[in-house]
Structure 1
């Protein structure tokens, strides 16, 4: 059996928006969006499913008599009045409409769920429904403790569920092994972490510049922002570009987008033309990127103290009117919104990553996943998991959503967290952008859902003079980060990280050492404390210290 491994990158929530059901999985805490439950090998006492007749056919067929499905759950505050974790709109809906009675073996707070799951893993008593992280999933899979869901998924998954899991990529990839499916993922999409270029447009206009169409033009703008007094204060007190101390591993103010313009993909696993998986940070294109960054640092274009600043400190520098350009993401307005206020002329606009040559730039991106939901080996009704997920998607996004989503989502919009399995619409933000822009053009928000309407209202307030609402305009408006993502989609300009599995053995044992070597070497090169040719020695050392073995393990999985 092909072994499963997990990507070492963290899953991001697409947007940390607390006001509605916006949270799908990026800066938001996974503790609330995950059912970190346990599972253990060899559970011999199956749930009491009664003498249920053969389940009704179809995605929403009801069991008669009802069946029981044992599960586990984390505590949640997002319950309708009078509901409890054990008895709520979701559990009652399962029972009344599907004939599935969900019973929890345990309920714990999110902080203790991981440890409780580990105890369950070791106990020998698996619940029927398993909500686990990727490492736990790997353990169960290798122990032969999971049901093959391939046939029941094809038979029972609703068309909408299948559509969600095929949005932008194969959203079930981490749950597949040897061409079989062993679980359903909490898949949030593959678009929202696309890098892009953010430019301070009032400075651009002051200098009579145009948005850069090439990377050379971008560097020219960086130079102008550092040398030509873009804020018109008569002082030499500005930098062209901001970085943060974690470089390619950081959030905003990192040069990932800059690297992508040179067809370099730091920290990214992808297949080359021969079909072999490569690690982007060690390829020759990366050396070119570091050389360009070193040149800009020596010329004074980059904040000289970036190596001591995390994302928050880097953001403070930008908001103190010191910097005119940075590479960021869809959510970057949150990092600079503090400077958009009365009395300030500051404004920022996002642009696609320009290329350094005549070959179009591809931006690197990751598929975002949370929990994997699986079924213990031997449970009589594995298709029940599929039906529960069909139910969740239907109540929140299907034909019945207009009438019932308010009940299932509650007044907070976060009611989905009371469900033992959940899936929000993957890549939903680009669809929100399309709908909001259409409503703005028509000046008619009547067709928008609750979440979309909140963004429409925010944009309207900003345009009416409330600058605190600026981020709505820049994330979902006509000239926004989602517009850039839409351009990437239209131009097929996204390259996905191939590694979506639990960490390999070498990633676990050597990943920290290799990551430290990479960061320290790259910072020294940019600072000019090491020559650009030090990159060659880095690659050699990286391979000797475990990188070569790690690449072998990755290729064993991906080939």
Structure 2
């Protein structure tokens, strides 16, 4: 992208100091963006009128008190605009582009995106209120953001989900410099959270030494676990697996006994996304199979010679594909995996048709909780089968799929996002012992993060593991409940309710299975988040023509439609169709 190298600076100095492509749109969309612009202007006018102090009917004798009142008001505004928790003396309303979630983000009945525990708490602590003038679901969100960017019509606060859009915003001078407000209005604990990722996280939002966007602090999700229907295993008298091979035998037993299949239906094996692995932390990949062979497809890695190579092209990946080919031949891998859409995979789980898939620690929240609501007799258990094959330090990652919070250029209160982050992810969890019960109850209720005014997460890199360790210590009686943070108490209460067996809800089941069972097996397996290496200039994105070539080749190899030697042909074609130039570019930018 033009000027990308000039703009992007992974600001080491900045971090130390603080220890779109175009989119074809319809006329209706353009009219919508114009309407948003009119709303912003109205908000600005009302905000200005709300700030007018004094009374036109006051007498001269009131002058001194008016002056004192104005001074107090000015001091309040100054404190609010330069501190993390300072409350605005009058309500500050900001327009927001809202990314909404399914099922109203699982909000309790009667709650909305503008009136829920998060927004009420922010209004009480900071006196701020969001006005969602733009709202769209996740699969269409980026397209609508492109409309706003192309029309230069932004709400006051916006979450951006791709770096090309972020580059566009910076290059066209559409967003505020957040360097000073980060220094003044971000709490020390939030700064420590960002620092736990190293200097490059804030650097991802830094251009020419200026912080132009606040990146999401994506906590380590850990490796995928194998989730198996525990109740099916018990029905068949099967022991819990202790190895990868034993787990595959269990899935084969599910198949042979037609578990989950009605008359006339074929049983479903290990469900699998056609992409095989995911770079965006999704369920239904078969990434652990590749990990078993130290293979990292769809990611850039450093080989034994210190050269950057594309992980899909290595001999380790070839070995993993041969193993998947054998699983497919044995009927363990879903025979229809090549025909499944992502939503179809979820349906198979929720409807009780399958008993095995790979997923992350939060899988009980989505999709398993919905199945438990449909069938309370169903039960799932996670297994960490790749502890002996833990990822090496030679794998690169990027910020291409990260979220960023930006503020419209010219908005009067750019500090507002730092204050919101400080209140939601620090004050409510660690400081407020009296008024944060409702907001923290949302964790136990499985309210989706899209319910927050800013759809990002900010926490320490190892947060999920520390939370589980603390809860386990309290359950074991070696730590007092009073020492738990508000977030930890919410999960602890749900876990205790699950263990008691009385009036257990699907939310209680999900809290225990995610926080204790799933994260617990990672803790017990001595999983340690790696200090990742980041591609500095390029995000390493592979063009669609190469991605399609790879996907088709891998599916054909797994299904036996091509001999395994075809893998070598695929590698040659990948390099010949632009992969060689791409590899050289990545190596040059990261040399």
- Band of TM-score, shorter chain: 0.5 to 0.7
Could you say which structure has the larger radius of gyration? 2
Residues 332-351 of structure 1 aligned to structure 2 (within 5 Å)? 332=363, 348-351=381-384
Pair 370,295 (structure 1): closer, same or farther in 2 beyond 3 Å: closer
For residue 109 of structure 1, give the secondary structure of its aligned residue in structure 2: strand
Pair 524,86 (structure 1): closer, same or farther in 2 beyond 3 Å: closer
Q: What TM-score results when the alignment is normalised by the length of structure 2?
A: 0.64
Who is 2:12 aligned against? none
Query: Is 1:527 the counterpart of 2:553 in the alignment?
Result: no
For residue 374 of structure 1, give the secondary structure of its aligned residue in structure 2: strand
Q: Is the 8 A contact 1:445 1:453 kept in 2?
A: no
Who is 1:492 aligned against? 528
Query: Is 1:441 the counterpart of 2:441 in the alignment?
Result: no
RMSD (CA atoms): 5.6
For residue 187 of structure 1, give the secondary structure of its aligned residue in structure 2: coil
Q: Is the 8 A contact 1:37 1:117 kept in 2?
A: no
Deviation at 1:297, TM superposition (A): 3.6
Which of the numbers 479, 484, 500 marks the counterpart of 1:460?
500
Query: Is 1:109 the counterpart of 2:135 in the alignment?
Result: yes
Distance 1:127 1:168 in 2: 30
Deviation at 1:537, TM superposition (A): 1.6
For residue 323 of structure 2, give the secondary structure of its aligned residue in structure 1: helix
- Structure 1 stretches lacking a partner, 5+ long: 6-35, 213-217
Q: What TM-score results when the alignment is normalised by the length of structure 1?
A: 0.67
Query: Is 1:176 the counterpart of 2:206 in the alignment?
Result: yes
For residue 537 of structure 1, give the secondary structure of its aligned residue in structure 2: helix
Q: Is the 8 A contact 2:538 2:589 kept in 1?
A: no
Which of the numbers 66, 71, 96 marks the counterpart of 1:72?
96
Residues 212-231 of structure 1 aligned to structure 2 (within 5 Å)? 212=243, 218-219=244-245, 222=248, 226=252
Which of the numbers 455, 458, 476 marks the counterpart of 2:515?
476
Which of the numbers 315, 318, 325 marks the counterpart of 1:284?
315
Query: Is 1:330 the counterpart of 2:361 in the alignment?
Result: yes
Q: Deviations over 1:498-530 (max 9, x none)?
A: 4699977x75xx32x322221221121122221
Q: Deviations over 1:104-159 (max 9, x none)?
A: 5x713335876664454344455554443334322111223333333442343211
Residues 87-166 of structure 1 aligned to structure 2 (within 5 Å)? 107-110=133-136, 117-124=145-152, 128-134=156-162, 135-166=164-195
Query: Is 1:294 the counterpart of 2:294 in the alignment?
Result: no
Who is 1:9 aligned against? none
Pair 547,71 (structure 1): closer, same or farther in 2 beyond 3 Å: farther
Distance 2:284 2:325 in 1: 16
- Structure 2 stretches lacking a partner, 5+ long: 9-32, 52-69, 260-264
Pair 514,167 (structure 1): closer, same or farther in 2 beyond 3 Å: same
Distance 1:460 1:261 in 2: 38
Query: Is 1:450 the counterpart of 2:490 in the alignment?
Result: yes
Deviation larger for 63-72 or 541-550: 63-72
Q: How many residues align?
A: 504
